[in-house]
Structure 1
């Protein structure tokens, strides 16, 4: 026989802060759409002006080449921004990608402005410079939104219901087994039932009769279940620093953190290591009670 106790895991004592999920999602979608539209318009204006510049300077008879030539300038911005996005997702700095964006946008602005001519009005130069500058800023904003989306997906890892939606609590069946009952007393034979003592061989003492102990009732109690969600660190540097706490249960110093980061190709910046250690201790305050091996 076993008694079952039900523990409701739905109520954990922590209330989640309600957020306007629908409004936030709508604003994010509108901002993303407008950013894409602005990026496309700005690149189109810059691209077409560079085509006119190419047509006026040696490519008037080669229409296809005049339309392909601006790509040798504007595509550097696209390639550089994509490489910057890849580096930021890996928590690195790609100076080569930054150089590509700088070179491509600088050349695009200079050629758009130079294509206006020498004796043009100052406002004509401003009008020519706005599309390439807008293309750079809009495309950078688009890559930032993509980075935020990918980082958020990496942080969750699993599909969870939006904040403010209460999940039904699922009862956990915890079984408490009772101790086995005492064995039943053996049945008496006919002579014993009649009150006669059994005849034992000479030299053999009679064994003591078993005592039928009354079973003790066991009270079934509910067992508390501690449900804790693991702390997930999307930042690889934070993961490395958090793992060092579990090696010898001491707070890692700067030398250990930078050595571990360098071993995984994450750089060896001391400020980055200290900042990551601060983030880890902020998310798990009990780690601050660990002893410090060597001040770092």
Structure 2
């Protein structure tokens, strides 16, 4: 038993030492693997960083192209609704679904006929150009304007004396007009007019009526002062900067007058009635026969 006990004790000691050694080696390997894993993660982050930046820039470019774009207000023509230096966000998505500008909306549009001739052109640096390209800053190279739509295709827009402005014979109550301004100007250059807006075109005016070179003053141009719907970039829906000026840009209630909509729907209704009369007469004759 004694002789048998010796080898047994010896085996126990050997096995215990082996397990301790194996455990130590295991710990070393775990530490190596942990250290290697940390180094691998750090290396992979720096490798993925350019990809992440590229994806972010691509998303910003897509948002600018199809969803929302920032624009800067360069003049006082839309006071007090918009002040010079305001940054507005413009909805570019809805036009992709066939939506067209409506009366009362504030829209950004490409210069339809050299309206900005003689205006100074900004000279941005390379960094500003890059930010403009991805939509994080307003574009300084595109010749765009911002005005309020007061007439759409089929509307008759008229100014007599100092106002009010008439759309399809309905007088507009315009609380957004710059304080101290009249709705119409009594000058002969363009303040007095009566126009019929062609289909696919818009008649636009600034809220600062005495300080806005809008559709009124381009009636002698080839386009007659009208803005093609295809030139519209989108609707300005919010003032995003500066923070103290944050506000939405809803359509004023004055453009919800029943008379405005009725004027537009009268012609289609009359055409539908005229088309229905012959059909009713034919049905009655057939019934009698």
TM-score, with length taken from structure 2: 0.22
User: Per residue, is there more strand in 1 or in 2?
Assistant: 2
- Larger Cα-atom Rg: 1
Q: Which has the higher contact order (CA 8 A, sep 6+)?
A: 1
User: Per residue, is there more helix in 1 or in 2?
Assistant: 1
TM-score, with length taken from structure 1: 0.21
